[in-house]
Amino acid sequence: MATFTNQATLTYNGQAVNSNTVTGQMISPLTMTKTTLDDVYATGDTITYVVSLVNDGSTTYDDLTLTDNLGSSEVGGEEMSYPLSYVPNSIRYFINGVLQSAPTVSPEEPLTVTGISVPAGGNTMLIYETEVTAAAPLTAGSVITNTVTLTGDELSCTLEAEATVRVERGPELRIVKSLFPAVVPENGQLTYSFLIQNYGNEAAEEDAGVSVSDLFDPILEDITVELDGQPLYVTTDYTYNQTTGQLNTVPGMITVPAATYAQDTATGDWIVTPGEVTLTVQGTVSGCSNA
């Protein structure tokens, strides 16, 4: 729908008088909307988009071209960064609800779909999938807004529609366990280290209830437990059953800071530096392994 204004001028005896301004609207019989089946995203996720074309007119539109910018933006002043990439062969093309042969899709970014038709008094629907790339922003509050445009010789105006998804908020934790030394004599000292990393955009606070559990085999005696070099205390911070070798930290005692993000200005990719803490447990090896 386009809005237009118009004003007339009356001249007489060397004078000019302007009329009032009138406003009108030009309505296209063809309309386009874009929606998504997904509200939030994280790196590597698949997002499904639906583009609907409705023709209220009496003329069929043929050979239309749909272009999706995949949420692109400029980086480094010249290069384009694409937070989304089209999933090959994922497009589905419906006319009046009937599945058609897939239209031609350009393999290059941005996504371009050609040869689209919309029947008179009918509708066309395109459904396709995209994958969230490393160029997608991950800081809390970030969004991806991607825009589609529809062009064609039979269209007097370019149609445009957009859809927005927001980044998933919250911690994203991973844990890596290591031991030193790898070979230990009976009744020797053994240290387990647990590196806890947070790739999410929010810290894992006390209410997240983070807890580490482990069943040590062989069992450790006379253990000491530290978090980032600071001593932890039995009962207050953890429990340990010296008969079974079961260790449990108190839920919520461990907190992990949020990740930090920096964008590579050359590629547009986001570099993630996880927040992290290290839990260490040291003790004396007791007896033989049950394995």
Is 19 contained in some domain?
A: no
Is 7 contained in some domain?
A: no
Tokens (6 digits) for 257: 């800071």
Q: Indicate if 162 and 205 belong to the same structural domain.
A: no
Q: Indicate if 193 and 238 belong to the same structural domain.
A: yes
Domain count, the chain: 2
Query: What digits encode the pLDDT tens for the residues 262-290?
Result: 999 888 899 999 999 999 999 998 765 54
Q: Indicate if 97 and 222 belong to the same structural domain.
A: no
Identify whether the C-beta of residue 210 lies closer than 8 Å to the C-beta of residue 271: no
Identify whether the C-beta of residue 276 lies closer than 8 Å to the C-beta of residue 195: yes
Is 57 contained in some domain?
A: yes
Distance CA 171, CA 206 (A): 12
Instruction: Write down which residue in 167, 195, 227 finishes a domain.
Output: 167
Is 291 contained in some domain?
A: no
CATH number at residue 93: 2.60.40.740
Q: Indicate if 100 and 199 belong to the same structural domain.
A: no
Is 5 contained in some domain?
A: no
Residue 6, C-beta contacts closer than 8 angstroms, at least 6 positions apart:
21, 22, 24
Is 260 contained in some domain?
A: yes
- pLDDT at position 147 is 97
Q: Indicate if 116 and 200 belong to the same structural domain.
A: no
Q: Residue 146 burial (CB < 10 Å; 0-12/13-18/19+)?
A: buried
Instruction: Write down which residue in 132, 167, 202 finishes a domain.
Output: 167
Distance CA 39, CA 56 (A): 30
Instruction: Write down which residue in 136, 152, 167 finishes a domain.
Output: 167
Sequential DSSP letters for 212-273? -EEE-SSEEEEEEEEETTEE--BTTTEEEETTTTEEEEPTTS--BPPPEEEE-TTT-PEEEE
Q: Indicate if 163 and 177 belong to the same structural domain.
A: no
- pLDDT at position 291 is 47
Q: Indicate if 121 and 194 belong to the same structural domain.
A: no
Q: Indicate if 162 and 36 belong to the same structural domain.
A: yes
Q: Indicate if 127 and 252 belong to the same structural domain.
A: no
Buried residues in 174-203 as b, exposed as e (16+ CB within 10 A): eeeeeeeeeeeeeeeebbbebebbbbbbbb
Parts of the chain with a pLDDT under 50: 290-291
Q: Indicate if 156 and 179 belong to the same structural domain.
A: no
Query: 214: domain range?
Result: 173-286
CATH number at residue 243: 2.60.40
Distance CA 127, CA 77 (A): 32
Is 82 contained in some domain?
A: yes
**For the whole model, what pTM was predicted?**
0.80
Is 275 contained in some domain?
A: yes
